[in-house]
Chains A and B, each alone.
Chain A
Amino acid sequence: MAPLGRAALLVAFGCLIYAALAGGYAAARRRRRLALSARNALLAAFGATAVAAAVLVAALLRHDFTFAYVAEHTSAQLPARYRVSALWGGQEGSLLFWLLVLTGYSSIAVLAARRAGQDLLAWVVPILGTIGAFFAFLVVAIASPFHTQTAPPDGLGLTPSLQNPYMLIHPPLLYLGYVGLSIPFAFAMATLLARRGDEMWIVVTRRWTLVAWTFLGVGQLLGAHWAYVEVGWGGYYAWDPVENAALMPWLAATAFLHSVMIQEKRGMLKVWNMLLVVLAFCLAIFGDFLTRSGVINSIHSFAQGKVGPWLLGFICAVTAASLALVFARLPLLRARTRLESLVSREATFLYNNLLLVALCLTILWGVAFPLLSEAVRGQTVTIARPYYDFFLRVFGLPLLLLMGIGPLVAWRRASLRALGNAFLGPALLAVATGVVLIALGAGSSRPGLIAYSFSVFVLASIALEFARGTRARRSLAGGSWPAAFGSLVARNRRRYGGYVVHAAVVLLAIGIAGSSAYQTVRERRLQPGQSMNVAGYTLAFQGTTEGQSSNARELRTHLLLSRGGHTLGSIAPGKNYYPAERSSSNEVAIRHNFLTLEDVYVIADQIDAKSGAVYFKVLVKPLVNLIWLAGAVFVLGSLITLWPDAREERRLAARYRAEGALVRV
Chain B
Amino acid sequence: MGGKRSPARLVVALSVAGVLAIFLVYTALAGGGTPSLKPSQLAGHTGRVSLVGKVVGSVTGQSHSAAGMRFRVQDIGGKSAVPVVYHGSVPDLFRTGRDVVVDGRLRHGSFVAVPGTLVTKCPSKYTPKG
Contacts and interface: CB of A to CB of B under 8 A. Distances in A.
A295 interface: no
A538 to B, nearest CB: 22
Contacts, number: 131
Contacts of B101: 297, 299, 382
B77 interface: no
Contact of A300 (B33, B91, B122): B122
Contact of B125 (A90, A339, A391, A523): A90
A82 to B, nearest CB: 11
Contacts of B19: 358, 362
Interface stretch (B5-13, B78-86, B104-112): B5-13
Nearest to A575: B92
B122 A387 contact: no
B126 A73 contact: yes
A593 to B, nearest CB: 24
A303 interface: yes
A229 to B, nearest CB: 13
A584 B122 contact: no
B36 A300 contact: no
Contacts of B128: 156
A342 B12 CA distance: 12
B58 interface: no
A585 B123 CA distance: 13
A370 interface: yes
B67 interface: no
Interface in B95-130: 95, 99, 101, 119-129
B126 A381 contact: no
Contact of B124 (A300, A335, A391): A300
Nearest to A91: B125
A301 B122 contact: yes
Chain A interface size, under 10 / 10 to 19 / 20 to 34 / 35 or more: 35 or more
Interface in B17-70: 19, 22-23, 26, 30, 32-37, 41, 50, 52, 62-64
Nearest to A586: B92
A287 interface: no
B30 A387 contact: yes
A551 interface: no
Contacts of B90: 605-606
Interface string A129-170: 000000000000000000000000000111101100000000
A342 B5 CA distance: 12
Given A159-B125, A299-B101, A354-B15, A370 B33 contact: yes
A379 B35 contact: yes
B126 A156 contact: yes
Interface in A346-386: 347, 350-351, 354, 358, 362, 369-370, 373, 379-384, 386
A228 interface: no
Nearest to A344: B7
A657 interface: no
Given A390-B26, A603-B89, A384 B33 contact: yes
Contacts of A369: 32-33
A219 to B, nearest CB: 15
A342 B11 contact: yes
A381 B36 contact: yes
Interface in A185-237: 231-233
Contacts of B92: 161, 231-232, 583-586
Contacts of B33: 369-370, 373, 381-384, 387
A582 B11 contact: no
A425 to B, nearest CB: 28
Given A358-B19, A390-B26, A381 B32 contact: yes
Given A358-B15, A387-B30, A157 B121 contact: no
A387 B29 CA distance: 11
A233 B35 contact: no
Nearest to B19: A358
A495 interface: no
Contacts of B93: 161, 583, 585
A157 B126 contact: yes
A608 B23 CA distance: 47
B92 to A, nearest CB: 5
A608 B62 CA distance: 9
B113 to A, nearest CB: 15
Contacts of B30: 386-387, 390
Contacts of A319: none
Interface string A386-401: 1100110010000000
Contacts of A584: 92
A3 B129 CA distance: 32
A387 B52 CA distance: 20
A338 interface: yes
Contacts of A231: 92, 122
B8 A339 contact: yes
B57 to A, nearest CB: 16
Nearest to B8: A339
Contacts of A386: 30
A582 B34 contact: no
A525 B64 contact: yes
Given A157-B126, A358-B15, A387-B30, A350 B121 contact: no
Given A350-B11, A583-B92, 16 more contacts: A72-B126, A156-B127, A156-B128, A159-B123, A299-B120, A301-B123, A369-B32, A369-B33, A370-B36, A381-B35, A381-B36, A582-B129, A606-B90, A608-B62, A615-B64, A617-B89
23 contacts: A161-B92, A161-B93, A161-B123, A297-B52, A298-B121, A299-B121, A301-B123, A338-B6, A342-B7, A350-B11, A351-B11, A351-B15, A358-B19, A373-B33, A381-B33, A381-B35, A381-B36, A382-B33, A382-B50, A386-B30, A523-B89, A582-B129, A606-B63
Query: Which 9 residue pairs across A and B have the least CB separation, nearest first?
Result: A383-B33, A303-B125, A381-B33, A382-B36, A338-B6, A339-B8, A380-B36, A301-B121, A354-B15
